[in-house]
C-alpha cells in the first residue's frame, strides 16, 4: 500500500458538504467514487477539514492509500474525467506513510467573501454573500483583532459542534475592501463548527453600525452563542487550504484570486 496526498478544488453549491452522508450528495463520496474507478478498488479519503453544505474550497487536502500502480498524472487526469465540473483534482503526490491530511496540518485558512452592493450580482451569486447595507471594513477589521490568540470561542460555536473543546488558536484575521467586495481572511490552528460564519455574522453587525467595535470583545468574553450575530450564509465561505510542515513537500494553499486586488 502506498499513501497519496491530493489537492481538491470545488464549488460547494450542489453538495451537502464535504463529509459523506446517507441519502445526500457530498464532495467526499463523489471524489471517492472517481478515485475508486481509477484504482480499481474502494478508496477512502481523510480530509484536512470538513466543510458545510454550500461552502467552497480552493485547496482541500486529502490522503488515501492504494496498492494500484499509478503515476501521479494518472490519478489526476483519470479522476478528473470521472468528476463533475464543480470538483477538480489539481495535483496528487506520494507522501510518507506517517502523513495525515487532518492531523499533520499546522494551520488552516478560510476566506469569507461579501458582495456589498445595493443590487445583487448575477455573476457572483452562489460565490459571494450579498449584503445590501453599507459596511465599514476598517471598523470590522479593528473589532476583529481581539479574536487573535488562544481563546474559548464558545460565542462563535454551533450548538451541534462535536469538538471536545471550544478553545482554538486564531493566528490572524484581516478584513478589507476590494471595490464592491468586503473580504474576511482567517487563519487558525483549527476551527469549530460554523466558527468562521458565526464570526462573520457578528462582524457584519459591527460593520453596519448596529453594534460598537467593542461588542466583539464582549461576545468573546461572554461565551454565549445566543448573544452573538447570525450564522452568515455558506455561499460566501471558501476553505483556502491547510498548511503542512515543509518536509512533506506539498504545495502551499493558493492565494485567492477572487476578488482581484
Residue ranges and CATH numbers for the domains of the chain are: 2-104 (3.30.70.580), 107-240 (3.30.70.660)
Q: What is this structure's pTM?
A: 0.97
pLDDT higher than 80, residue 261: no
Task: Express each pLDDT in 249-259 by its tens digit.
Answer: 999 999 998 89
Task: Express each pLDDT in 82-93 by its tens digit.
Answer: 999 999 999 999
C-alpha cell of residue 13: 453549491
Using CB atoms within 10 Å of the CB of residue 122, give its burial: 0 to 12 exposed, 13 to 18 middle, 19+ buried. exposed
C-alpha cell of residue 4: 497519496
Mean pLDDT on 132-153: 98
The size of the chain, in residues, is: 261
Which candidate, 90, 75, 99, places its Cα nearest to that of 251? 90
Task: Express each pLDDT in 43-92 by its tens digit.
Answer: 999 999 999 999 999 999 999 999 999 999 999 999 999 999 999 999 99
110 annotated as ligand-binding: yes
pLDDT of 158 reads 95
Residues tagged active-site: 52
pLDDT higher than 80, residue 148: yes
Helix, strand or coil, per DSSP, at residue 228: coil
pLDDT of 260 reads 76
Amino acid at each position: 500500500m502506498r499513501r497519496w496526498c491530493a489537492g481538491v478544488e470545488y464549488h460547494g453549491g450542489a453538495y451537502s458538504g464535504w463529509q459523506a452522508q446517507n441519502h445526500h450528495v457530498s464532495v467526499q463520496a463523489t471524489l471517492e467514487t472517481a478515485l475508486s474507478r481509477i484504482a480499481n478498488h474502494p478508496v477512502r479519503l481523510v480530509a484536512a477539514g470538513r466543510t458545510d453544505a454550500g461552502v467552497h474550497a480552493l485547496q482541500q487536502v486529502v490522503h488515501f492509500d492504494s496498492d494500484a500502480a499509478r503515476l501521479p498524472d494518472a490519478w489526476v487526469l483519470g479522476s478528473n474525467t470521472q468528476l463533475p465540473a464543480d470538483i477538480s483534482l489539481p495535483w496528487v503526490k506520494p507522501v510518507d506513510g506517517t502523513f495525515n491530511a487532518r492531523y499533520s496540518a499546522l494551520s488552516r485558512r478560510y476566506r469569507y467573501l461579501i458582495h456589498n452592493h445595493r443590487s445583487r450580482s448575477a455573476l457572483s451569486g452562489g460565490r459571494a454573500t450579498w449584503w445590501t447595507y453599507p459596511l465599514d471594513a476598517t471598523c470590522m477589521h479593528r473589532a476583529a483583532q481581539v479574536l487573535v490568540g488562544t481563546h474559548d470561542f464558545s460565542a462563535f460555536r454551533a450548538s451541534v459542534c462535536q469538538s471536545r473543546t471550544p478553545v482554538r488558536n486564531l493566528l490572524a484575521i484581516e478584513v478589507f475592501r476590494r471595490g464592491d467586495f468586503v473580504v474576511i481572511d482567517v487563519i487558525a490552528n483549527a476551527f469549530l463548527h460554523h466558527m468562521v460564519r458565526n464570526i462573520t455574522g457578528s462582524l457584519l453587525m459591527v460593520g453596519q453600525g448596529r453594534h460598537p467595535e467593542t461588542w466583539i470583545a464582549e461576545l468573546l468574553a461572554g461565551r454565549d452563542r445566543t448573544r452573538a450575530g447570525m450564522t452568515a450564509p455558506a455561499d460566501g465561505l471558501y476553505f483556502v487550504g491547510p498548511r503542512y510542515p515543509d518536509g512533506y513537500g506539498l504545495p502551499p494553499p493558493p492565494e485567492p484570486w477572487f476578488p482581484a486586488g
